[in-house]
Amino acid sequence: MEQAFLQFLANQTTSLAAGSVGIGDDAAMLSWGAEQKLVVCTDLISDETDFLLHEVTPQQIGRKALAINLSDIAAMACEPVGALLTLLLPQGESSLDLAKGIYEGAAELAESYGCPIIGGDTNSWPGKVAVSVTVLGRCPGPQPLLRQGAQPGDAIAVTGKLGGSILGHHLSFEPRVREALELHQNFHLNAGMDISDGISIDLPRLCQQSRVGAEIDARLLPISDAAHQRSEKTGKPAWWHALNDGEDFELLFTLPAEQMDRLATQWTESVPITKIGTVREASPLMLIDLEGTRQPLLPEGFSHQ
C-alpha cells in the first residue's frame, strides 16, 4: 500500500515557493527569512475520538486534521507555510483509497491557505485510523500572539458563533488565519488562543498563563443555530452549549477596552466579532447568567481522555 500511495503522491501537483523542495526526497526544504520566527504545531486525530469513520468521508478526515492545526497557527496570528501529513491506517485493501481521500481533503484546504503538504509518512496496523499533521508557520511581525499578556480591564472577544459543533461544524469550519492576521496587524491584542475544548476550559488556560481572572456574560455570547438545536435535544440552555461544546475553532482574544470600541466600529469582515466579557485581576473565573446572577464559571467543556 505504501508504494502505491507514494506513486499517487508523486502525481499530485503542489504549489511551492521558489527554492523549496516538497514530497519526493528524503526531507522537505523551505526557504526562510533570516529575521522571521518559526512557529510549529502538531495535532493527532483518530477514529471514535475526533470522528466516526463510518459517518464521514476520507476527505472530511483529511480536511479536519489540517484545519485544527491551521487554527493553532491562527491562534498565534501567524502564517502557515507548509504541512507534514502522517497516516496510520487499518490493514486491508481499502487502505489505499482511504489514504488517497485523506490526502485529497487536506490538500484542497492546504491550497486555499497557501500551506502545501511537503511530506509525512504512512503505515498500516490492525487498529483504527489515526492522522497526525504538523504545520510550520512564520510570524509576520516581531512577536506572535500568546496566551500570556491579558490585562485587567481588557475586553474578552470571540470570532464567529459558538456551540453545537458536533452537528457538522467540527468537520467544515474555516480556520481564522486571515482574521487573526488582520486583527493582530490593525489592533492592539494582548493575548489570544483558539477555542478547541470550549470557552469554559480554554479561557482558564489563557487566564492561567496571563495570571488574571475573567468574567463572562452569557447574555453576550454569539450562539449558533446548532447550539439552539442541541439545547432542544439536551434540555440544557443554548448558552451552556456555546460555552462548553468545544471544537468551535474560533479565536478567543483580549484587548484594551478602547481597542474593542475601535474594533466594533471599524471591523468590516464577514466573520463577526463579539465582546463576551472582561478580564479581572484575580480568579476565580465568573459567569453572569441570563438573570444577571454571578456564579463560578465551571470547566464543563470537552476533555480528551
CATH number of the CATH domain containing 164: 3.90.650.10
Residue with cell 503522491: 9
Paired strand residues for 139:
37
Residues 134 and 164 in one domain: no
Domains: count for the chain: 2
Average confidence score pLDDT of the chain: 92
242, 198 in Cβ contact below 8 A? no
pLDDT value for 35: 77
Residues 163 and 263 in one domain: yes
Residues 12 and 128 in one domain: yes
pLDDT tens, residue by residue, 130-144: 999 999 999 988 889
State the CATH number of the domain containing residue 49. 3.30.1330.10
Q: Which three cell numbers stand for residue 88?
A: 496510520
| pTM, entire model | 0.92
Q: Distance (Å, rounded) from C-alpha 170 to C-alpha 250?
A: 11
Residues 73 and 117 in one domain: yes
Does some domain include residue 301? Answer: no
pLDDT value for 19: 53
Q: How far is CA 135 from CA 13, 18, 60, 83, 85, in A?
A: 19, 19, 18, 4, 9
pLDDT value for 34: 72
pLDDT value for 28: 72
Domain that residue 131 falls in: 2-139
Q: Which three cell numbers stand for residue 278?
A: 472582561
DSSP 71: H
Does some domain include residue 145? Answer: no
Q: What is the mean pLDDT of residues 64-83?
A: 97
